[in-house]
Amino acid sequence: MVTIAKNIVDTLEANGVERVYGIPGDSLNGFTNALRTSGIRWVHVRHEEAAAFAAAAEAATTGRITVCAGSCGPGNTHLINGLYDAHRSRVPVLAIAAHIPTSEIGTNYFQENHPTELFRECSVFVENVSSPSQMPRLLRIAMQTAIEKQGVAVLVIPGDVALTEATDETVTILRPTEPVVVPSPADLQRAADLLDRAGKVTILAGAGCADAHDEVIALADHLGAPIVHAMRGKEHLEYDNPFDVGMTGLLGFASGYRAIDACDALLMLGTDFPYPDFLPHEKTIIQIDIRGEQLGRRVPLDLGLVGNIRDTAPALRELLDHKDDRTHVNESIAHYKKTRERLNDLASPVKEGRDQHPQYVARAIDQIANEDAVFVPDVGSPVMWAARYLRMNGRRRLIGSFSHGSMANAVSQAIGIQAAHPGRQVIALAGDGGLTMMLGELITLVQNKLPVKIVVFDNSSLNFVELEMKAAGFVNWGTGLQNPDLARVAEAMGLRALRVDRSLEVAPALAEAFAHNGPALVNIITERQEVTIPPSVNAAQIKGFSLYAMRTVMSGRGDEIFDLARANLRQVF
């Protein structure tokens, strides 16, 4: 007998799905039993949140639809955070959400909730299968929607329905479309006219430029424009780019901010950059995006165009006058080189007995990692160090929770990336808070024989939160972490684990861990008081730091001010 569950698995396998991430449960029995006799690998995690993160990260690195599964009730709710991340990162994920028995829906049954309502906000499609007659049509619609809208589709299936005999055993293979989307000739001409009239043009480019590296650089050359990249645009545009001037925003640095501040016109390409305070408000702004609903979301526009960057950039370039004056781009590049030198100077070893500068650790990771490594930083200060010190080259990847901004993403996402790319080096840059939040996933790495390399920035605090408190004038409170020796914990779980307390040990420990044939963790004790200075410090932040200092001294914790000054003195002089 071919059950609904068996037909689902047959369809997934026919469409190239190789893995399903999840945790078994009685309401999932029909589905997991069908997987048991298939060619699809069941990747057993320790928390459904990790399953969703892993599926999302696999989709981000392969471009193909991936699958996670959760049992009814809590199993579903645990999926939600990872699915939010997948949804906001716009990657195709299918979630199989098991439900309570059909006869019990609406009775306040054990573990009952309403999955279609729960997943509504974090999906492009969610529907409940209440009858076998709806299948496999609903599965086909769910997968097609996830693929074409690049988002999360959720299929809610009561356990009893999954075990029912299929009335239709059709298996459909779905093929992604590859549309060419360009603005109308009139709109392109309007953009060209605005850019021709502008003296100094700067480009701000994001993840929408993923397959348009050469096209964007050719456009920048024609415009004499520096290219500022958003965080999700870093891996796609930083390399082989003579016009790159780094980032702006909370994670950025001075050169990216200056290139935008100094321009007459800003051309936004494939980016939904979320920080309007770092965007100009009295200059010409043109935005091009494949999703029209994103146009003008952050700041008012002079012109918004719908188009994919790969096809639109060359079409626009053909209409533009060539800008012979290279003053703006040359000054921006010169400023970037100085900024880059300053950042590299901060990545220095420390004197014996002091905790490591995190910049030094991040730069060492960059220098020792493979040329095709995949980096996965935790949200918080590890993202800052990744943004500033990991170099992209066209082969390396940088994956993270850059839109949803969830803690504990690094190891969970690394699970999916390593499972999909078994021969590739995958490095998780973990914060101590993020690692310990989902500590059980270290066991997932061991159980599934996934050789992920984890570098822990152990500063015994929720470090980025503390920085935000300082900037707002609050005394740091409630952010300290009493950590065990995380290397010994990891070793007890079966990983190769090393602890680093001295600068001389950083590079050898990383090299040893990266060469290990299996999962490995390096726990590096880093400076808690390191300040990550944004590219533009406003008056409110200056006032906030002053208030923080005064309030900290008055609360009897003046030693923290001394530690802060000692740790960051090299950033002042």
Question: Which member of 379, 452, 489, 506 is catalytic?
Answer: 379
The catalytic residue among 411, 464, 522, 529 is 464
513/354 Cα distance (integer angstroms): 23
**DSSP E strand stretches across 249-388:** 265-269, 284-289, 303-306, 374-377
247, 256 Cβ separation under 8 angstroms = yes
Residue pair 385/361 in contact (Cβ under 8 Å)? The answer is yes
Q: CB-based contacts of 294: which residues, under 8 Å, 6+ apart? A: 272, 287
**89: nearest Cα among 179, 208, 182:** 208
Known active-site residue 379? yes
List the one residue out of 49, 536, 443, 557 whose CA is nearest residue 247: 536
- Does residue 20 have an active-site annotation? no
Write out the two tokens for 187: 């709109």
For residue 298, the one-letter residue type is R
Q: How many CA atoms lie within 13 A of 495 on its CB side?
A: 30
Cis peptide before 226 (omega within 30 of 0): no
**Cβ proximity of 211 and 293 under 8 Å:** no
- Is 18 considered catalytic here? no
Q: What is d(CA 521, CA 502) in angstroms, rounded to the nearest whole number?
A: 16
| 57/54 Cα distance (integer angstroms) | 5
Contact (Cβ atoms closer than 8 angstroms) between residue 450 and residue 516: no
| Burial degree of 388 (CB within 10 A; 0-12, 13-18, 19+) | buried
Task: Indicate if the alpha-carbon torsion angle 87, 91, 301, 265 is positive or negative.
Answer: positive
**Distance, CA of 232 to CA of 486 (rounded, Å):** 30
Which run of H or of E encompasses 427? strand 426-431
AA identity, residue 452:
V
514 catalytic? Reply is no
Is residue 285 helix, strand or coil? strand
CB under 8 A, 24+ apart: contacts of 297-306: 297/272, 298/272, 298/273, 298/274, 302/194, 303/187, 303/190, 303/191, 303/194, 305/183, 305/187, 305/188, 305/191, 306/181, 306/183
Q: For residue 450, is it left (φ>0), alpha (ψ between -120 and 50) or beta?
A: beta
**Catalytic residue status for 474:** no
DSSP tag of 98: E
User: Which residues are the active-site residues?
Assistant: 48, 110-111, 379, 464
